[in-house]
Amino acid sequence: MSLHDHGWNEFFANQWEAFEKEGLQPARVVSSSSGLVRLITDQGERLGVLAGRLRLQGGGVPVAGDWVAVRVAEGATPRVEALLERRTRLSRKAAGRRTDEQVVAANIDLVLVVMGLDGDFSLRRLERLMALIEQSGASGAVFLNKRDLCDDAAVRMESVRRTARGASVLMGSCLLDDGLEAVRACLPTGRTGALVGSSGAGKSTLINRLLGRSVQATAAVRRADGRGRHTTTRRELFLLPGGGMIIDNPGIREVQLWGDEEGLGRAFDDVTSLAAACRYRDCRHDTEPGCAVDDAVKTGRLDPGRLHSYRALVSELRYLELRQDGAAQREQKRKWRAIHRSIKRSRRNH
């Protein structure tokens, strides 16, 4: 298959002139781990290594879905020399106390949230995931799995439609091969999707069904609490039969936002459109007179739980912004201290 079948398009071709002059070749990252990368090239799949200078670039380590410039020499392992600008990227805050961005998947057209209609079902988690998708630049869709285990699937599907705010909502059962044709239709040749969702939602089973073979390990959810077990351990790009690509991701236990309030506002456009009609521009949407949001909650036009989620996510993003500002200030001070030490050493030597 050609690189165009793997997602190469005009956006990447416009970046390629400088790399072509250096004798490099384009490749797409299938997976990346510990300095080794699996690549799709026009000669097929290859295992490559990262050039030392690339490892030193801040945030420059390739992830599944990235396009890279590779140097291929006869008898040598292909070496990734540069990372092309990403067209889209799905990111979250890195786990732990650090305020760093973790890119989950790159150059994707569609993010498909897989959510089970069993104990995995959570509109609050879906709100967080839709906020991440709005920041990514990709389109969003939801696949409600395990329809066979739910007695009120139609009611839940309608609540997901209201929460997903215009994103496509599909429903079926991976184990029964139910509803998978609709998923396949979302990923024609040259289009890349990425799966997100919690452990046990059925992402690995969905991958296996779409590929028609078992490539990802699966495990049943725990009977005690309905929670899933991690079976996918790395992010990996798969080429689907008949065209299209999909990136599988390990289950997300903790969805920490990354981005700005503008993307969050798009995910909660029902709240932000109401807020535009508030009497005061700096309305907190609490008990202020003339608050259109508060009025919508009182009259039943807005779910109070959804408003609570929006407030919580706004607070989370603002706290993250404050921590990023503090980290940036500390880094700036560190750099200036290093400069001053260098100047003092230079003066002593002269």
As a CATH number, domain 3-83 is: 2.40.50.140
Same fold, 3-83 and 268-350: no
Interval 84-94: pLDDT, tens: 999 999 988 76
* Domain locations in the chain as residue ranges: 3-83, 89-248, 268-350
**Mean pLDDT lowest among 16-20, 83-87, 98-102, 303-307:** 98-102
Radius of gyration (C-alpha) of the chain in whole angstroms: 23
pLDDT top residue among 116 and 52: 116
Provide CATH code, domain 89-248.
3.40.50.300
Distance between CA 203 and CA 174 in Å, rounded?
9
214 close to 208: Cβ distance less than 8 angstroms: yes
- Dihedral pair phi/psi, residue 304, rounded to 5°: -60, -30
DSSP per-residue codes, 228-269 = ------S-EEEEPTTS-EEEE----S-----S-HHHHHHHTH
Query: Residue 157 to residues 6, 43, 127, 145, 153: CA-CA distances in angstroms?
Result: 32, 44, 14, 11, 6
Class of CATH domain 268-350: mainly alpha
Does the structure show a pLDDT above 80 at 344?
A: no
Q: How far apart are CA 152 and CA 157, in angstroms?
A: 9
Summarised one tens digit per residue, pLDDT across range 47-84 is: 999 987 775 554 468 999 999 999 988 878 899 999 99
Q: pLDDT tens across 305-318, in order?
A: 998 898 888 888 88
Taking CA atoms, 139 is separated from 90, 133, 172, 210, in Å, by: 11, 7, 20, 20
Confidence band for 225, pLDDT divided at 50, 70 and 90 = very low
